[in-house]
Amino acid sequence: MDKLIQANGQPHYGLFAQAPGEINYRDFDFRSPMGRRLGALAKWRRFHQFQYFGLISEQLIGGCALANLSLAGIGFVYLFHPASGRMIERQFKLPLGFGTRFSQRPNDGVCELRSGRNRLRLENHGATLEKRLLVELDDGTHIDAGFSEAQPAFQPMCLNTPTAVNGWVYAQKVAGVRCTGQVRSTLGDFDLAALEAFAHHDWSAGYMRPETCWNWACLSGRAGAQRVGLNLSCGVNETSFTENCFWLDGELIKVDTVRFDFDRDQPLRPWRMASFDGQVELQFEARGLHQERMNLGVMASNFKQIFGQFRGVLRPRRRPEVVIDNLWGFVEDQYVKW
């Protein structure tokens, strides 16, 4: 599929074997809830896009996100050292997205934020199916990390769902892939290949609800001889289809709806996640937290991304169950008004 939006102004919906070449949101026939056709200003204001790259290993955890929210460009990056409990984290908010650029091609292009001597950059290379994260901070922190979906072969989760009365959300997820590269920081210098690190990647965009919330979970690592990745969500992508899935050695296995059981007031207490179809039953123990709170009236966010370890079981149909024993990953609790 070359473009997500068809000639009649309507999106393609469903699960896709491959990513669309372009998320051509400007061609969307965007209407008000009462059916009035909306113009270029409304299309710009309501379209939101974000990309996330996560690093997962027993020695180092990291995350970096970039978001285009029309009225602001937002980015964050953090590194967590489990052995010492030490953490580096930075946040950036740029009015109207000045200092940022965002490609609408999920597998090809650059998303970047620059603020002073700080740069967060995510590169997607279509020809090689490689993803790369480059972070340069004014305190000397440097991250250069990447992975490939081609070697060994990996099947990403590519999905577009209707959202509310007049929107849609495209999501493309990857987890359970080997990560290579280098990290230099006050936490130490790390070779990601030597750490046997894994990566998670999320590319999402669309016309999301103006006020929304979601929970999310992701893990990556090895379970016995298998490479395992997991992506679960409750909220946003649930109309007609879900984004819930896990991967075994790069093979995508879909999962039904998932219930997240946790204490919103005490997010560092254990979380539990179970799927309606019985394929997923997991418990999560927190080890650290990155959080942001913002309330500007027209925009607001209450965001918690927690990193820690998962235990439990995956039960793929017609295959032996997979025991998850203290694999590292993330959970998230997000409220946003935009």
For 281-320, write each residue's pLDDT tens digit.
Answer: 999 999 999 999 989 888 999 999 999 999 999 999 989 9
User: Taking residues 158-171, what's their average pLDDT?
Assistant: 96
Residue 86 placed within a domain: yes
Q: What are phi and psi of 27, to 5 degrees?
A: -90, 0
Q: Which CATH number characterizes residue 176's domain?
A: 2.40.370.10
Q: What are phi and psi of 3, to 5 degrees?
A: -135, 145
Residue 7 placed within a domain: no
Report the pLDDT value the prediction gives residue 318, as an integer from 0 to 100. Answer: 86
Residue 163 placed within a domain: yes
Residue 1 placed within a domain: no
Residue 194 placed within a domain: yes
Residue 331 placed within a domain: yes
What is the rounded distance in angstroms from the CA atom of residue 241 to the CA atom of residue 191?
38
Structure tokens at 331: 């959970």
> Which sign, positive or negative, has the C-alpha torsion 143, 149, 155, 161?
positive
Residue 212 placed within a domain: yes
Range of the domain at 32: 14-337
What is the rounded distance in angstroms from the CA atom of residue 228 to the CA atom of residue 217?
14
Number of folded domains that form the chain: 1
Q: For residue range 190-202, what is the model confidence (pLDDT) as tens digits? A: 999 999 999 999 9
- Residues 151, 128: contact at Cβ < 8 Å? no
Residue 3 placed within a domain: no
